Amino acid sequence: MPEGDTLRRLADRVSNAYVGQQVLGCTFRHPRLALADLSGTTLRSVDATGKHLLSRFSNGKTLHLHLLMAGRVFLSARPDVPEWRRRFEIQFETGLLTGVDVPLLHLFDTTREEQFVGHLGPDLCGAYDHDVAVARVEAAADMHLSAALLDQRVVAGFGNIYAVETPFICGLNPFTKVGAIESIEPIMAIGAALIRTNAMLGPQNTTGKRLSRSDQWVLPAKVRTCKLCGATLERMSEGQTPWRRRTAFCPQCQPQTATTPDLDRAKQLLGLHPARRMLDLPTCTLIADTSSAVVAKS
Pick between residue 42 and residue 256 the one whose CB is nearest to Zn ion: 256
Q: Which residue is nearest to Zn ion (CB)?
A: 226
Q: CB 152: neighbour CB atoms within 10 A?
A: 20
Pick between residue 252 and residue 256 the one whose CB is nearest to Zn ion: 252
- Greatest Cα pair distance, the chain, in angstroms, is 60
- Is residue 270 within 8 Å of residue 191, measured between CB atoms? no
Map the footprint of Zn ion across residues 232-251, applying CB under 5 A.
250
Please count the residues of this chain forming the interface with Zn ion, following the rule CB under 5 A: 7
Pick between residue 128 and residue 249 the one whose CB is nearest to Zn ion: 249
* Min dist. Cβ of residue 222 to Zn ion (A): 17
* Min dist. Cβ of residue 195 to Zn ion (A): 23
Site string for Zn ion, 206-235 (x = CB under 5 A): --------------------x-xx-x----
Q: Residue 172, interface with Zn ion (CB under 5 A)?
A: no
Distance CA 218, CA 102 (A): 28
Pick between residue 81 and residue 228 the one whose CB is nearest to Zn ion: 228
* Min dist. Cβ of residue 35 to Zn ion (A): 56
Map the footprint of Zn ion across residues 259-288, applying CB under 5 A.
none
The 3 state secondary structure assigned to 80-131 is CCCHHHEEEEEEECCCEEEEECCCEEEEEEHHHHHHHHCCCCCECCCCCCHH
Pick between residue 150 and residue 258 the one whose CB is nearest to Zn ion: 258
Q: Closest Cα to residue 120, out of 4, 201, 230?
A: 4
* Min dist. Cβ of residue 255 to Zn ion (A): 10
Pick between residue 193 and residue 226 the one whose CB is nearest to Zn ion: 226
* Min dist. Cβ of residue 253 to Zn ion (A): 3
* Min dist. Cβ of residue 168 to Zn ion (A): 8
Distance CA 159, CA 12 (A): 19
* Min dist. Cβ of residue 230 to Zn ion (A): 7
Q: Residue 143, interface with Zn ion (CB under 5 A)?
A: no
Strand partners, 107: 63
Pick between residue 42 and residue 216 the one whose CB is nearest to Zn ion: 216
272: Cβ contacts below 8 Å, ≥ 6 apart = 207, 208, 209, 211
Q: CB 23: neighbour CB atoms within 10 A?
A: 21
- Cα–Cα distance list, 73 to 11, 157, 269 (Å): 10, 18, 33
DSSP letter at 231 equals P
Q: Residue 27, interface with Zn ion (CB under 5 A)?
A: no
Binding residue (CB under 5 A) for Zn ion from 46, 125, 170, 253: 253
Helices (DSSP H) in 141-237: which residue ranges?
Answer: 145-150, 160-170, 185-201
Binding site for Zn ion (CB under 5 A): 226, 228-229, 231, 250, 252-253
